[in-house]
Chains A and B, each alone.
Chain A
């Protein structure tokens, strides 16, 4: 099963230049582009400190600080630890990918001193109160979607590939359709538009502030805007380091109890 991550969101956050070299000059289908971007080299592993700023329609803000470690080698492993706010500090979520099966996900709740197995969550449910849905964070099968004709369009001054993805069956996605704009110059996502099951546009994701970090193009800011709820989530990368020597212990139940906030 060939999987795509987060519909080009989180993985694309880290997505970089292809390990195989420069992109081919032209693609024939949208699926090819989608697969190409999704398989971009993200480093063998990454360590990241990030801030989430949640803003509601009254412009009230809430802040979340997290540290994330990820191993890209299959089976992928990710551990996400909350640093702020204080009542969530130390809460850690460990996700272990199992080839051909659902991911294993556990959470450590420091207040309860417990490690619990958790469901990966309903696809459409908001992740941690943000504008990202659980589906945006989960692995998806590339073949769960049909792809529109591939077009070349301009978004601002930027030449982009543009295509839509539609889930083959309703249960495959919480969205009715997803529009994608992929920058041709660096083959990175630039914009995504999300439609509900009735075909109404309601959410968009902007990939901002691309920086070449350790030779990997990295979007240091993701802005997800829910126009229906007039709510937005700013996903800001405070620090990211690729290909550090990561202690395997971090991705274990022992590591969950004490995830390093700094690296």
Chain B
């Protein structure tokens, strides 16, 4: 958009801003309406409903021409009406760059004398004055006219109104009126010879305006939608206005915010300078201001009785009881080095999730979500290959709430334990390790069918979980770079991997119980669980390698406290019959069972300047240890996160790492996360793996990568 065109365009859009679309033809001060003229009475009621002593708003304007080309424009505006009826409105254009800081100032008087419109071009400071017939022109490719942005004053002297009929639309009675210009000035300014208005009888808001030319042909149509409550006055207003023209162009005006009867703007706010305009809409104030807030001398505007918006039962139920949310998460990873011809050099991951939350009644809620994935890899040879393309029902459960009791039934994710990254007591919902650590733990969790309950008894909470059958962690695709290298070795030896899992029947059910005490100083908990190992052990039974799962019993404890402002958390679990690999993976007895104690203890603290540090110590002690068991009798790891916020939590730099001792292995993930807006986050990350090749992380040493991800949530 050119600079010259900007002013033109700017004027076009200004109209939109004028809150006023609904008031396009209404008398803002129709007090003189004749009592015996029902049409004027209707218009008067509408004007009363829309009256305000001031308005602050932000608007998104979308202009679509007849060829479908779209332009968007963001505008802030402020209006005030004086007690003597003089009205001033100032619009400031915020975006796009071509019209940024352009302004429109409109001054209107009840007498209709000296009404004027000024436009200020950004950069040149050129001011253009508009009055009379120039107001009827359409601007740029907008569907509105200059006249549209102005309120009608003393409409009875300038416009005539006639009731045509009453019409029922969506269960609401509408008054249908015709409006036609009467005075010479009105005829000059209006581009049409007649307008037909639809006005709701319940709240007197306009829902539709049709404009007709001298041949009685419709030339433009305005449709008002999205009824919301303006703040803080509580008056309902339409907040989306769509104007379509006979030639197929369209302009949509959407209020992003609107404050009615908020802070009363000062007179100096209505001066054509960018600074004053900005100031008027509550933007950055340059230093301590001597201008003090006042109690508005008018007091509150009474809007009269607000009749509830009539909706069909279905519409009402949907709007009041169903919440929709979701995200789209796209990630791209690229290996830092080309290590061999078979690895996946580029990985492209897409995930979309849609979630609905439906209130069934006062105590029951239904949560449903679906999850779509589309993952592709590109190997060294340049071949793109689909790794995963799924559409799954994700969480699907009912929550029932009663005094002191919650019950959840259905497919869901849970997370037990007090510590941060690792939770030894959390053995119920599996994690997707097909991308190893590149996904947060929150996103690795997969819902599984279960019933669970929590009973709240003062400071104590009792929890119970029942899974009708065991669901293991999903398999990592054989072609993935993240598949355990030992599986490739087995395949190379001609062994077939048998991904056997326990049958889905109640003999293989999982159950657990926990009691938690939440006190002023300490939170502590103790738990028992009968479950399976989530990650399978591998049992070699030529010609197969069989996934091995065993029923285990776990006895856990956990705690959490604050020492000054340092958070201390820990948990420990004693597991019976844990499956451990032996030193000879080709031995038919490559898996042995031992009891194990696993524990983690950690601390976190937020320093001044938003620096956050979290350190955890993780260890496993094997009972009845023998030298044929792979790994150490006492294995240890250090896990840490260091992060710092900048720009008021808009930007975060973080470094997450883990170091395993004997065999030494490590993982390091520096990350930059930037919140692009309230909906979108962009993350740039690096994943580094290293250490002894026999260590867990060392075996993925060829998978060092950089990643770029974008997540949009709504």
Residue of B284, B294, B454, B649 touching A55 (CB-CB under 8 A) = B284
Residue of B232, B282, B295, B564 touching A223 (CB-CB under 8 A) = B282
A254 touches B404 (CB 8 A): yes
User: Which single residue of chain A is at the shortest CB-CB distance from B441?
Assistant: A112
Residue of A87, A117, A221 touching B263 (CB-CB under 8 A) = A221
Nearest Cβ on chain A to B237's Cβ, whole angstroms = 14
Q: Please report the C-alpha to C-alpha distance between residue A185 and residue B89 in the assembled complex, in whole angstroms.
A: 32
Q: Mark contacts of B602-622 with chain A using CB atoms, 8 A cut-off: 1 yes-contact digit, 0 otherwise.
A: 000111101000000000000
Q: Beyond A59-B283, A121-B606, is A190–B413 a contact (Cβ under 8 Å)?
A: no
Interface residues of A in 48-75 (CB under 8 A from B): 51, 54-57, 59, 62-63
User: Which single residue of chain B is at the shortest CB-CB distance from A119?
Assistant: B565
Could you say which of B285-293, B528-536, B586-594, B684-692 contacts chain A? B285-293
Nearest Cβ on chain B to A92's Cβ, whole angstroms = 15
A86 touches B713 (CB 8 A): yes
User: Which single residue of chain A is at the shortest CB-CB distance from B445?
Assistant: A113
Interface residues of B in 112-136 (CB under 8 A from A): none
Check: B650 CB closer than 8 A to any chain A CB: yes
Interface residues of A in 106-154 (CB under 8 A from B): 106, 111-122, 124-126, 128-130
Check: A79 CB closer than 8 A to any chain B CB: no
A85 touches B678 (CB 8 A): yes
Check: A23 CB closer than 8 A to any chain B CB: no
B283 touches A238 (CB 8 A): no
Q: Please report the C-alpha to C-alpha distance between residue A131 and residue B395 in the assembled complex, in whole angstroms.
A: 37
Nearest Cβ on chain A to B582's Cβ, whole angstroms = 36
A119 touches B562 (CB 8 A): yes
Check: B518 CB closer than 8 A to any chain A CB: yes
Chain B residues lying within 8 Å of A6, measured Cβ to Cβ, are none
Chain A residues lying within 8 Å of B492, measured Cβ to Cβ, are none
Q: Beyond A125-B610, A221-B262, is A201–B679 a contact (Cβ under 8 Å)?
A: no
Chain A residues lying within 8 Å of B94, measured Cβ to Cβ, are 59
A253 touches B678 (CB 8 A): no
Q: Beyond A122-B606, A125-B608, A126-B648, is A238–B232 a contact (Cβ under 8 Å)?
A: yes
Residue of A117, A122, A193 touching B560 (CB-CB under 8 A) = A117
Residue of A57, A62, A208 touching B293 (CB-CB under 8 A) = A208
Check: A210 CB closer than 8 A to any chain B CB: yes
User: Which single residue of chain A is at the shortest CB-CB distance from B566?
Assistant: A119
Q: Which of the listed residues A57, A59, A86, A257 has the most CB atoms from chain B within 10 Å of its own CB? A: A86
Check: B523 CB closer than 8 A to any chain A CB: yes
Check: B647 CB closer than 8 A to any chain A CB: yes
Chain A residues lying within 8 Å of B183, measured Cβ to Cβ, are none
B294 touches A156 (CB 8 A): yes
B713 touches A87 (CB 8 A): yes
Check: A200 CB closer than 8 A to any chain B CB: no
A249 touches B293 (CB 8 A): no
User: How many residue-residue contacts, CB under 8 A, span A and B?
Assistant: 142
B231 touches A55 (CB 8 A): no
Check: B709 CB closer than 8 A to any chain A CB: no
Nearest Cβ on chain A to B366's Cβ, whole angstroms = 13
Q: Beyond A114-B415, A122-B608, A220-B232, is A231–B282 a contact (Cβ under 8 Å)?
A: no
Interface residues of A in 77-111 (CB under 8 A from B): 84-87, 89, 98, 101, 104, 106, 111
Check: B171 CB closer than 8 A to any chain A CB: no
B325 touches A113 (CB 8 A): no
Check: B406 CB closer than 8 A to any chain A CB: yes
Q: Mark contacts of B671-689 with chain A using CB atoms, 8 A cut-off: 1 yes-contact digit, 0 otherwise.
A: 0000101110100000000
Q: Mark contacts of B282-314 with chain A using CB atoms, 8 A cut-off: 1 yes-contact digit, 0 otherwise.
A: 111101101111110000100000000000000
Q: Beyond A86-B325, A238-B231, A254-B404, is A156–B293 a contact (Cβ under 8 Å)?
A: yes
B714 touches A86 (CB 8 A): yes
Check: B373 CB closer than 8 A to any chain A CB: no
Q: Please report the C-alpha to C-alpha distance between residue A121 and residue B647 in the assembled complex, in whole angstroms.
A: 18
Check: B551 CB closer than 8 A to any chain A CB: no
Check: B493 CB closer than 8 A to any chain A CB: no
Chain A residues lying within 8 Å of B383, measured Cβ to Cβ, are none
Check: B317 CB closer than 8 A to any chain A CB: no
Q: Please report the C-alpha to C-alpha distance between residue A253 and residue B456 in the assembled complex, in whole angstroms.
A: 8
Nearest Cβ on chain B to A12's Cβ, whole angstroms = 14
User: Which single residue of chain B is at the shortest CB-CB distance from A86?
Assistant: B713
A210 touches B295 (CB 8 A): yes
Chain A residues lying within 8 Å of B369, measured Cβ to Cβ, are none
B520 touches A231 (CB 8 A): no
User: Which single residue of chain A is at the shortest CB-CB distance from B455?
Assistant: A254
Chain B residues lying within 8 Å of A56, measured Cβ to Cβ, are 647-648, 650
A232 touches B285 (CB 8 A): yes
Chain A residues lying within 8 Å of B454, measured Cβ to Cβ, are 254
A206 touches B293 (CB 8 A): yes
A257 touches B327 (CB 8 A): no
A104 touches B520 (CB 8 A): yes
B232 touches A209 (CB 8 A): yes
Check: A18 CB closer than 8 A to any chain B CB: no
B284 touches A230 (CB 8 A): yes
Residue of A111, A117, A234 touching B562 (CB-CB under 8 A) = A117
Chain B residues lying within 8 Å of A130, measured Cβ to Cβ, are 648
Residue of A106, A113, A193, A207 touching B413 (CB-CB under 8 A) = A113
Chain A residues lying within 8 Å of B290, measured Cβ to Cβ, are 156
Residue of B399, B566, B645, B648 touching A54 (CB-CB under 8 A) = B648
Check: B461 CB closer than 8 A to any chain A CB: yes
Q: Mark contacts of B131-174 with chain A using CB atoms, 8 A cut-off: 1 yes-contact digit, 0 otherwise.
A: 00000000000000000000000000000000000000000000
Nearest Cβ on chain B to A254's Cβ, whole angstroms = 5
Nearest Cβ on chain A to B387's Cβ, whole angstroms = 25
User: Which single residue of chain B is at the shortest CB-CB distance from A103?
Assistant: B520
Nearest Cβ on chain B to A89's Cβ, whole angstroms = 7
Check: A236 CB closer than 8 A to any chain B CB: yes
Interface residues of A in 200-250 (CB under 8 A from B): 201, 204, 206-211, 220-221, 223, 225, 227, 230-232, 234, 236-239, 249
Q: Mark contacts of B228-246 with chain A using CB atoms, 8 A cut-off: 1 yes-contact digit, 0 otherwise.
A: 0001100000000000000
Chain A residues lying within 8 Å of B288, measured Cβ to Cβ, are 193, 201, 204, 227
Nearest Cβ on chain A to B99's Cβ, whole angstroms = 15
Q: Mark contacts of B645-666 with chain A using CB atoms, 8 A cut-off: 1 yes-contact digit, 0 otherwise.
A: 1011110000000000000000
User: Which single residue of chain A is at the shortest CB-CB distance from B518?
Assistant: A253
A191 touches B567 (CB 8 A): no
Nearest Cβ on chain B to A83's Cβ, whole angstroms = 10
Q: Beyond A98-B520, A158-B294, is A116–B284 a contact (Cβ under 8 Å)?
A: no
Nearest Cβ on chain B to A209's Cβ, whole angstroms = 6
Residue of A128, A204, A225 touching B649 (CB-CB under 8 A) = A128
User: Which single residue of chain B is at the shortest CB-CB distance from A111?
Assistant: B442
Check: A155 CB closer than 8 A to any chain B CB: yes
Nearest Cβ on chain B to A95's Cβ, whole angstroms = 13
Chain B residues lying within 8 Å of A116, measured Cβ to Cβ, are 418, 560, 567
Chain A residues lying within 8 Å of B232, measured Cβ to Cβ, are 209, 211, 220, 236-239
Chain A residues lying within 8 Å of B399, measured Cβ to Cβ, are 258
Q: Please report the C-alpha to C-alpha distance between residue A187 and residue B380 in the assembled complex, in whole angstroms.
A: 74
Check: B480 CB closer than 8 A to any chain A CB: no
Chain A residues lying within 8 Å of B606, measured Cβ to Cβ, are 119, 121-122, 125
**A–B pairs, 28, beta carbons within 8 Å:** A55-B283, A57-B284, A63-B678, A86-B714, A87-B713, A98-B520, A116-B418, A117-B560, A117-B561, A119-B562, A119-B567, A126-B648, A130-B648, A156-B293, A158-B292, A190-B293, A204-B288, A209-B263, A210-B295, A211-B232, A220-B232, A221-B262, A223-B282, A231-B648, A236-B232, A239-B232, A252-B456, A253-B461
Interface residues of A (CB under 8 A from B): 51, 54-57, 59, 62-63, 84-87, 89, 98, 101, 104, 106, 111-122, 124-126, 128-130, 155-158, 190-191, 193, 201, 204, 206-211, 220-221, 223, 225, 227, 230-232, 234, 236-239, 249, 252-254, 257-258
Q: A156-B291, A249-B403 are in contact. List 18 more A-B contacts (CB 8 A).
A: A55-B283, A59-B278, A62-B675, A62-B677, A85-B713, A87-B711, A111-B442, A116-B560, A119-B565, A122-B606, A156-B294, A157-B292, A158-B292, A232-B285, A236-B231, A253-B456, A254-B456, A258-B399
What are the 3 A-B residue pairs with the smallest beta carbon separation, nearest first?
A156-B292, A129-B649, A119-B565
